[in-house]
C-alpha cells in the first residue's frame, strides 16, 4: 500500500514516515496541498493520504476539496491531521471529503486506530 504524507514540516513528515513504514506502508511526501495534488494527478496510485491542515500555498482543506471534486484517486482514504479541534472545523473537513480526522498531539497507537477504522490495518 502506498501512502502520501503531506505536511510542511520536514520533521513531522519524517516522523510520520517512520510510523507508517513501521506498519508496512510505502511512503511518498509532499510539502503542501499544491505539491500533493500534482503528485496525485500523476501516474502513481495511492491508498492513503495523511494530510496536514495549515500549510503554505494550499492548505489541507482546499486540497481535499479539490481532490474530491476532481475525482482524483477516488478510492484513496484521506486522514486529516491538525491542531484545529473545533467541531465546526472537523465537520467541514468531513464534508469536503476527508474520511477521518486526528487531532494533534497524537500517539502512534492513535494513528494505528485510525488506520484500522479506515480498513487499512488490522
Partner 1 sequence: MECTDIGPTLLCQTPVTRTANTSGLEQLVSNLRTDQTPQLHRAAAEAMTINGTSFFRDPILFDILRKLILPQLFKANHADRKLRIWSAATSTGQEAYSVAMLIAEYFPELENWDIKILGTDISSHVIDWAQHGRYRLLDVNRGLPARMLLKYLVRDGDEWQVTDSIRAMCEFRRLDLCAEVPGHHGFDLVLLRNVLLYLSSLDRQRAFRAAHSQMKKHSYLMLGAAEQAEDSTNLFRAKFEGNFCYYRALPGPEAA
Cα–Cα–Cα angle for 55, 79, 58, nearest 5°?
20
Contact predicate 52/8, CB 8 Å: yes
Nearer to partner 1 (CB atom), residue 40 or residue 80: 80
Nearest approach, Cβ of residue 95 and partner 1 (Å): 11
Nearer to partner 1 (CB atom), residue 35 or residue 60: 60
Nearest approach, Cβ of residue 121 and partner 1 (Å): 11
Nearer to partner 1 (CB atom), residue 76 or residue 79: 79
Give the residues lining the site for partner 1 (CB under 8 A): 85-87, 90-91, 94, 100-103, 105-107, 109-110, 113, 116-117
Nearest approach, Cβ of residue 42 and partner 1 (Å): 29
Element (H, E) at 84: none
Nearer to partner 1 (CB atom), residue 7 or residue 29: 7
Contact predicate 5/19, CB 8 Å: no
DSSP letters spanning 9-77: -HHHHHHHHHHHHHTT-EEEEESSHHHHHHHHTSS---SEEEEESS-SSS-HHHHHHHHHHHTTTTT-E
Nearest approach, Cβ of residue 4 and partner 1 (Å): 20
Amino acid at each position: 500500500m502506498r501512502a502520501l504524507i503531506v505536511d510542511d514540516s520536514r520533521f513531522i513528515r519524517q516522523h510520520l514516515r517512520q510510523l507508517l513504514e513501521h506498519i508496512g506502508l510505502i511512503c511518498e511526501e509532499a510539502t503542501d496541498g499544491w505539491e500533493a495534488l500534482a503528485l496525485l494527478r500523476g501516474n502513481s496510485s495511492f491508498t492513503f493520504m495523511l494530510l496536514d491542515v495549515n500549510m503554505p500555498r494550499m492548505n489541507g482543506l482546499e486540497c481535499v476539496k479539490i481532490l474530491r471534486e476532481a475525482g482524483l484517486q477516488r478510492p484513496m482514504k484521506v486522514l486529516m491531521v491538525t491542531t484545529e479541534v473545533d467541531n465546526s472545523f472537523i465537520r467541514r473537513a468531513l464534508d469536503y471529503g476527508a474520511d477521518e480526522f486526528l487531532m494533534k498531539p497524537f500517539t502512534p497507537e492513535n494513528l494505528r486506530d485510525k488506520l484500522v477504522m479506515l480498513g487499512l490495518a488490522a
